[in-house]
């Protein structure tokens, strides 16, 4: 004896799971916390060709195998107190860009002082069983407002960060 209702029940359950997955996989807004990492500010901007994500949070220690250079431990005569990550994506197809190291400059708004970070390096993080390439380093940032500019080729994105 055939039981077609069981086939329909299985199909309905599969469609419900797919729908739930799609509903939960939307893009994050510019000010959402990063899951599994506390006290991280995440901002997103777009250039002509790229979607750029900037993450600023507490310092991190990464194994040497996950980086192309050593992390900074002292910056501007101060021990580092933040970690900065740049995630680059192709704006048209959302593919991760891993080959172009971005230029990063920081302007401290209270003094107008601008500096370029010289140790931004390619890093990899294991997230959800996939290697996620990004660029980053530890650095010292004073309390207050900063404008962080990320340049890739002739394109740039600016982010306002308050600490």
Q: Which tokens sit at 116?
A: 């370029």
In a domain, 131, yes or no: yes
Tell me if 73 sits within 8 A of 138, measured CB to CB. yes
Evaluate if residue 82 carries a pLDDT over 60. yes
Evaluate if residue 35 carries a pLDDT over 70. no
In a domain, 158, yes or no: yes
Q: Which tokens sit at 82?
A: 């933040």
pTM (predicted TM-score): 0.71
pLDDT band at 13, cuts 50/70/90? very low
Q: How far is CA 112 from CA 12, 54, 104, 105, 158, in A?
A: 59, 21, 16, 12, 15
Evaluate if residue 15 carries a pLDDT over 70. no
Number of domains in the chain: 1
Which of the pair, 67 or 157, is modelled with greater confidence?
157
- Provide the pLDDT for residue 24: 30
Tell me what the mean pLDDT of segment 51-71 comes to: 75
Tokens 């400059």 -> residue: 105
Evaluate if residue 61 carries a pLDDT over 80. no
- Provide the pLDDT for residue 52: 96
Q: Cα(48)–Cα(52) distance, rounded to whole angstroms?
A: 11
- Provide the pLDDT for residue 18: 36
Q: Cα(157)–Cα(19) distance, rounded to whole angstroms?
A: 34
Q: Residue 159: phi, psi to the nearest 5?
A: -130, 135
In a domain, 6, yes or no: no
Q: Residue 73: phi, psi to the nearest 5?
A: -115, -20
User: Whole-number mean pLDDT of the chain?
Assistant: 77
Q: Which tokens sit at 6?
A: 């069981």
Residue 125 sits in which domain range?
28-162
Q: Cα(91)–Cα(152) distance, rounded to whole angstroms?
A: 13
**Per-residue pLDDT tens for 93-152?**
999 888 788 999 999 999 999 999 998 887 766 554 455 678 889 999 999 999 999 999
**CATH number of the domain where residue 82 is located:** 2.60.40.2480
In a domain, 147, yes or no: yes
Which of the pair, 43 or 121, is modelled with greater confidence?
43
């Amino acid at each position: 004896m055939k039981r077609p209702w069981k086939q329909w029940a299985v199909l309905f359950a599969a469609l419900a799971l797919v729908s739930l997955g799609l509903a939960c996989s939307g893009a994050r807004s510019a000010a959402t916390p990063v899951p599994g990492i506390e006290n991280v500010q995440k901002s997103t901007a777009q250039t002509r060709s790229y979607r750029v994500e900037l993450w600023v949070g507490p310092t991190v220690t990464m194994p040497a195998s996950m980086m192309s250079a050593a992390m900074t431990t002292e910056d501007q005569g101060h021990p580092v107190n933040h970690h900065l990550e740049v995630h680059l994506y192709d704006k048209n197809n959302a593919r991760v860009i891993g080959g172009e190291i971005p230029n990063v400059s920081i302007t401290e708004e209270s003094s107008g002082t601008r500096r370029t970070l010289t140790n931004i390096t390619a890093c990899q993080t294991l997230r959800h069983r996939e290697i996620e390439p990004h660029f980053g380093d530890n650095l010292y940032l004073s309390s207050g407002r900063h404008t962080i500019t990320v340049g890739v080729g002739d394109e740039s994105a600016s982010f306002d960060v308050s600490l």
